[in-house]
Amino acid sequence: MYGKGLRTLSIATVAMLAVGLSLVAFYAPIETDQGFIQKIFYLHVPLAIVALVGFVVGGIFAIAHLRTGNRKWDAYSYVAIHISVIFGVAVLLTGSIWAKASWGHWWVWDEPTLVSFLIVFLMYATYYPFRYAIEDPERQARYASVFAITAGAFVPLNFIAVRAAQSLVHPRVFATANGGLPGSMMLTFLCCLAAIALLWVTLVKFELTAKSASGQVKRLRRALDAPSTSPSSRVAPEVS
Amino acid sequence: MHALLASAPALPLGEGGKYVAGAYIVFVVLLVVYVGIMAAKLQRIERELRELAGFAEQRAGDSAGGAGDAVAGRTAPAGLRGGAPADGSGRGAEQPAVSHE
Amino acid sequence: MTPSRAAFAAILGKDLRSELRTLQSLPAMALFSVTTFVIFRFGLDRTSLSGSLAAGVLWATLLFAAVLGINRLFVAEREEGGFDAIRLAPIDRSALFAAKAAALLIYLLALELIAVPIFGLFFLRDLGGLAPLTLVLLLADLGLAATGTLISSMAVNSRARDLLVPLVLLPLVVPLMIAATGATEPLLALGGPGYHRFGTWLMVLGLYDLIFGLVGYAVFDFLLED
pLDDT digits (tens, 9 = 90+) for C171-182: 999 999 999 999
Q: What whole-number distance in Å separates Cα of residue A9 and Cα of residue A240?
A: 22
Mean pLDDT is lowest, of A225-229, C7-11, C63-67, C106-110, for A225-229
Domain contains A238: no
List CB contacts of C82: < 8 A, sequence separation 6 or more: C74, C76
Q: Is the pLDDT of residue B7 over 60?
A: no
Helix (H, G, I), strand (E, B) or coil at C10: helix
Q: Which amino acid would we find at residue A173? A: V
Is the Cβ of B73 closer than 8 Å to some Cβ of chain A? no
**Cβ pair C70, C104 in contact under 8 A:** yes
Q: Is the pLDDT of residue B61 over 90?
A: no
DSSP string, C16-81: HHHHHHH--HHHHHHHHHHHHHHHHHHHHT-S---HHHHHHHHHHHHHHHHHHHHHTTTHHHHHHT
Is the Cβ of B8 closer than 8 Å to some Cβ of chain A? yes
A130, A133, A161: residue with CB nearest C178: A161
Nearest CA in chain C to A123: C171
Residue A227 or residue A93, greater confidence: A93
**Cβ pair A178, A49 in contact under 8 A:** no
pLDDT at C125: 86
Provide long-range contacts, Cβ within 8 A and 24+ apart, for B77-80.
B77/A226, B77/A227, B80/A226, B80/A227, B80/A229, B80/B51, B80/B54, B80/B55
Provide long-range contacts, Cβ within 8 A and 24+ apart, for A34-40.
A34/A102, A35/B15, A35/B16, A36/B9, A36/B12, A36/B15, A36/B16, A36/B17, A36/B20, A37/A98, A37/A101, A37/A102, A37/B15, A37/B16, A37/B19, A37/B20, A39/B20, A40/A94, A40/A97, A40/A98, A40/A101, A40/B19, A40/B20, A40/B23
Q: What whole-number distance in Å separates Cα of residue A86 and Cα of residue A81?
A: 9
**pLDDT tens readout for residues A196-217:** 999 999 999 999 999 999 988 8
Q: What ipTM does the predicted assembly reach?
A: 0.82
CA-atom Rg of chain A in angstroms: 20
| Number of independent structural domains in chain A | 1
Is the Cβ of A100 closer than 8 Å to some Cβ of chain B? yes
Helix (H, G, I), strand (E, B) or coil at B94: strand
Which residue of B18, B91, B99, B101 is the best one to mutate when testing the A interface, meaning the one whose CB has the most A CBs within 10 A?
B101
Q: What whole-number distance in Å separates Cα of residue C18 and Cα of residue C77?
A: 12
pLDDT at A199: 96
What number of other Cβ atoms are within 10 A of residue C79's Cβ? 9
Measured between CA atoms, how close is A15 to chain C, in angstroms? 38
Mean pLDDT is lowest, of A77-81, B8-12, B22-26, C20-24, for B8-12
Q: Which amino acid would we find at residue B5? A: L
Domain contains B74: yes
**pLDDT tens readout for residues A33-42:** 777 888 888 9
Range of the domain at B70: 14-80
Q: What whole-number distance in Å separates Cα of residue C132 and Cα of residue C147?
A: 24
Say if the Cβ atoms of B48 and A210 lie within 8 Å: no
Domain contains B30: yes
Residue B71 or residue A219, greater confidence: A219
Is the Cβ of B49 closer than 8 Å to some Cβ of chain A? yes
Nearest CA in chain A to C168: A126
The dihedral built from the CA positions of residue B87, B93, B98 and B100, taken in this order, carries a sign that is: negative
pLDDT at C14: 87
Q: What is the mean pLDDT of chain C?
A: 89
pLDDT at A179: 55
Chain A residues with CB inside 8 Å of C182's CB?
A: 164-165
Q: What whole-number distance in Å separates Cα of residue A180 and Cα of residue A182?
A: 6
pTM: 0.80
Say if the Cβ atoms of C219 and A149 lie within 8 Å: yes
How large is the greatest C-alpha to C-alpha distance in chain A, in angstroms?
68
Say if the Cβ atoms of A226 and B97 lie within 8 Å: no
pLDDT at B96: 40
Which residue of B27, B29, B47 is the best one to mutate when testing the A interface, meaning the one whose CB has the most A CBs within 10 A?
B27
Chain C residues with CB inside 8 Å of A131's CB?
A: none
Residue C190 φ then ψ, to 5°: -60, -40
Measured between CA atoms, how close is B66 to chain A, in angstroms? 18
**SS (HEC) of chain A:** CCCCCHHHHHHHHHHHHHHHHHHHHHHCCCECCCEHHHHHHHHHHHHHHHHHHHHHHHHHHHHHHHHHCCHHHHHHHHHHHHHHHHHHHHHHHHHHHHHHHHHCCCCCCCCHHHHHHHHHHHHHHCHHHHHHHCCCHHHHHHHHHHHHHHHHHHHHHHHHHHHHHCCCCCCCHHHHHHHCCCHHHHHHHHHHHHHHHHHHHHHHHHHHHHHHHHHHHHHHHHHHCCCCCCCCECCCCCCC
CA-atom Rg of chain C in angstroms: 18
Q: Is the pLDDT of residue A117 over 70?
A: yes
Range of the domain at A87: 6-26+39-214
A123, A135, A143: residue with CB nearest C172: A123
Domain contains B76: yes
Domain contains A34: no
Domain contains A134: yes
pLDDT at B92: 40
| Number of independent structural domains in chain B | 1
**Cβ pair A211, A236 in contact under 8 A:** yes
Domain contains B8: no
**Cβ pair C48, C123 in contact under 8 A:** yes
pLDDT at A171: 41
Chain A residues with CB inside 8 Å of C211's CB?
A: 153, 157
Domain contains B37: yes
Q: Is the pLDDT of residue B24 over 50?
A: yes
The model's confidence at residue A11, banded by pLDDT at 50, 70 and 90, is very high
Q: Is the pLDDT of residue C51 over 80?
A: yes
Measured between CA atoms, how close is C204 to chain A, in angstroms? 7
How large is the greatest C-alpha to C-alpha distance in chain B, in angstroms?
79
Chain A residues with CB inside 8 Å of B100's CB?
A: 227-228
Segment C129-156 mean pLDDT: 92
Segment A101-114 mean pLDDT: 82
Q: What share of chain C is helix, strand, coil (3-state, %, to 5)?
A: 80, 0, 20
Q: Is the pLDDT of residue B6 over 60?
A: no
pLDDT at C82: 76
The model's confidence at residue A91, banded by pLDDT at 50, 70 and 90, is very high
HSE value, Cβ hemisphere, 13 Å, CA-based, for A210: 17
Residue C85 or residue A124, greater confidence: A124
Say if the Cβ atoms of A162 and C178 lie within 8 Å: yes
**Cβ pair C152, C167 in contact under 8 A:** no
Measured between CA atoms, how close is C86 to chain A, in angstroms? 17
Chain C residues with CB inside 8 Å of A164's CB?
A: 178-179, 182, 197, 200-201, 204
Q: What whole-number distance in Å separates Cα of residue A10 and Cα of residue A172?
A: 36
Domain contains B2: no
Phi-psi region of B16 (alpha: psi -120 to 50; beta: other; left: phi over 0): left
Q: What whole-number distance in Å separates Cα of residue A222 and Cα of residue B100?
A: 9
Domain contains A204: yes
Domain contains A239: no
The model's confidence at residue B4, banded by pLDDT at 50, 70 and 90, is low
